[in-house]
């Protein structure tokens, strides 16, 4: 068994590499640019939302409880639409630094959990491909598979969900390569 403390370098380096790769993917490569659409009457929608003064949070349209889902009034609301989820953030410019910081912490957590699994499943001096397979699988579960539920439950378009899963595959491969390269001998 490998001590988790012996894996601090691959945990940190994998997080940095994934952070840089995700920055390149989202700032340079064009395939995520078509993921977000603009409402034709955005100003009117913004004014309507602003008039209800919602606090930051996740909202459903139409909102109903489980027992109200079959009521004629609720069914009519679903029929006339719109049906969806709305995420309201605090007013003001988007704090990209906060999101990037949280993303880096997430990358560290994925590395830590992947390291924990590998430390218990892979012996010191194991072949590169064995470390790669174990760490890559754990990282893929975190970076790619977890987001698929957004397509199932939140209605995120499957094209976006699958593109994010593809990104997750890239991040998992980078994480696996980093751990396999730096695995204790």
Q: Measuring CA to CA, how many Å separate 68 from each of 76, 81, 82, 151, 155?
A: 12, 16, 17, 24, 21
Residue 79 has a pLDDT of 95
Domains in the chain, number = 1
Give the pLDDT score at 36: 85
Domain holding 70, by residue range, is 4-182
**Is 10 buried (19+), middle (13-18) or exposed (0-12) by CB count in 10 A?**
buried
1, 120 Cβ separation under 8 angstroms:
yes
pLDDT of 31 reads: 86
Per-residue pLDDT of the chain (185 residues; tens, 9 = 90+): 999 999 999 999 999 999 999 999 999 988 888 888 899 999 999 999 999 999 999 999 999 998 888 899 999 999 999 999 999 999 999 999 999 999 999 999 999 999 999 999 999 999 999 999 999 999 999 999 999 999 999 999 999 999 999 999 999 999 999 999 999 99
152 burial level (CB within 10 Å; 0-12, 13-18, 19+): exposed
Tell me the whole-structure pTM to 2 decimals: 0.90
């Amino acid at each position: 068994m490998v001590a988790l403390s012996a894996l601090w370098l691959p945990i940190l380096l994998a997080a940095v590499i994934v952070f840089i790769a995700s920055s390149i993917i989202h700032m340079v490569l064009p395939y995520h640019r078509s993921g977000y659409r603009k409402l034709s009457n955005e100003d009117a929608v913004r004014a309507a939302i602003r008039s209800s003064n919602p606090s930051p949070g996740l909202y459903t349209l139409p909102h109903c409880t489980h027992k109200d889902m079959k009521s004629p009034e609720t069914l009519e609301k679903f029929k006339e639409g719109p049906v969806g989820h709305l995420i309201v953030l605090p007013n003001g410019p988007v704090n990209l630094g906060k999101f990037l910081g949280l993303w880096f912490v997430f990358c560290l957590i994925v590395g830590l959990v992947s390291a924990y699994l590998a430390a218990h499943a892979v012996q010191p001096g194991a072949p590169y491909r064995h470390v790669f397979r174990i760490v890559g699988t754990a990282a893929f579960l975190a970076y790619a598979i977890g987001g698929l539920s957004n397509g199932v439950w939140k209605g995120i378009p499957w094209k976006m969900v699958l593109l994010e899963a593809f990104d997750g595959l890239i991040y998992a491969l980078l994480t696996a390569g980093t751990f396999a390269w730096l695995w204790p001998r």
